[in-house]
């Protein structure tokens, strides 16, 4: 007797040369399950295959194991984040204003893609992920490098006393994530507008000149 619960439709076989479509379907299915509460431990390739509507063995044509699939999910989300940050750097010519724009773009990404953001930063990696992935292949590297370049430009222009752009990038990342997390966890706090919080963070803690209008040119 079949289960009465919802069954995913069978996946339409890809035509020759369309194998990448199935790969993207698998990434999307894994992301959906994670957004619905699956963890690294509970997510299985079988459950992902069931979501897509294919045989479990077909997953191995694109991902050798669960870790490879999870990394693809993270990379997909971080690629979108990097696009937000890169676009922000082109909205201004002065590096300090670029950095303000990058900070606002980070938070805008989180607000535009709340489910993806949750997966990126609340679904923990298994220890094996950290051990087996090279630094160059780790998701988030592009986003870090974009922000780091802008910090370095600020330093080179004498706009900040910061001497280590990489450390400053990590601190900014952590501070922005903290603001987003606190606002979501304690919505009853009389929070100022997010733009005001970001501006205060940048000027008070990062020794940057105040942005008169982060939406301006």
Residue 141 clears pLDDT 80, i.e. is over it: yes
CA dihedral 37, 41, 47, 48 (to 10 degrees): 80
Q: How far apart are CA 142 and CA 78, in angstroms?
A: 8
Q: Whole-number mean pLDDT of the chain?
A: 84
Q: Is residue 217 part of a domain?
A: no
**Does residue 93 share a domain with residue 37?**
no
For residue 216, tell me if it sits in a domain.
no
Residue 215 lies in a domain: no
The verdict on 81 and 53 lying in the same domain is no
For residue 147, pLDDT beyond 70:
yes
From 64, 84, 105, the end of a domain falls on 64
Q: 84 near 105, Cβ under 8 Å?
A: yes
Confidence of residue 40 (pLDDT cuts 50, 70, 90): confident
We report the CATH number of the domain holding residue 32 as 1.10.10.60
Taking a C-beta distance cutoff of 8 angstroms, is the pair 159, 96 a contact?
Answer: yes
Averaged pLDDT, 156-179: 93
Query: Is the domain of 42 the same as that of 83?
Result: no
- Judgement on whether residues 44 and 87 belong to the same structural domain of the protein: no
- Identify whether 2 is part of a domain: no
Provide the domain limits for residue 128: 69-205
146 has pLDDT over 80 = yes
- Asked whether residue 195 is domain-assigned, the answer is yes
Residues 49 and 150 in one domain: no
pTM of the model: 0.79
Q: Is the pLDDT of residue 143 over 70?
A: yes
Enumerate residues 6+ apart whose C-beta is below 8 A from 214.
Answer: 97, 100, 101, 104, 195, 198, 199
User: Which pLDDT belongs to residue 20?
Assistant: 85
15 and 74 part of one domain: no
Of 32, 47, 64, the residue at which a domain comes to its end is 64
Q: Are residues 104 and 126 in the same domain?
A: yes
Secondary structure class of 214 (helix, strand, coil)? coil
Is the residue at 187 inside a domain? yes
Most confident residue range from 38-42, 82-86, 128-132, 207-211: 82-86
- Co-location of 77 and 163 in the same domain: yes
User: Are both 139 and 87 inside the same structural domain?
Assistant: yes
Q: Are residues 109 and 150 both part of a single domain?
A: yes
CA 63 to chain centre: 21
Q: Is the pLDDT of residue 149 over 60?
A: yes
- The answer to whether residue 36 scores a pLDDT higher than 90 is no
């Amino acid at each position: 007797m079949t289960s009465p619960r919802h069954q995913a439709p069978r996946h339409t076989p890809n035509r020759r040369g369309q194998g990448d479509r199935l790969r993207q379907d698998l990434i999307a299915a894994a992301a959906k399950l994670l957004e619905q509460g699956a963890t690294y431990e509970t997510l299985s390739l079988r459950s992902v295959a069931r979501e897509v509507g294919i045989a479990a063995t077909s997953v191995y044509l694109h991902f050798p194991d669960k870790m490879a699939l999870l990394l693809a999910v993270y990379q997909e989300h971080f690629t979108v984040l990097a696009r937000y940050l890169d676009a922000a750097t082109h909205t201004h010519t002065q590096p300090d204003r670029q950095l303000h724009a990058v900070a606002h773009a980070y938070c805008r990404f989180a607000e535009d893609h709340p489910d993806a953001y949750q997966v990126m930063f609340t679904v923990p990696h298994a220890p094996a992920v950290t051990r087996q992935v090279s630094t160059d292949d780790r998701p988030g590297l592009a986003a870090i490098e974009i922000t780091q370049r802008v910090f370095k430009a600020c330093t080179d222009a004498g706009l900040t006393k910061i001497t280590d752009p990489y450390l400053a990038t990590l601190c900014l990342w952590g501070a922005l994530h903290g603001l987003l997390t606190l606002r979501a966890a304690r919505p009853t706090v009389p929070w100022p507008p997010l733009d005001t919080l970001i501006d205060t963070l940048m000027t008070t803690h990062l020794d940057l000149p105040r942005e008169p209008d982060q939406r301006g040119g």
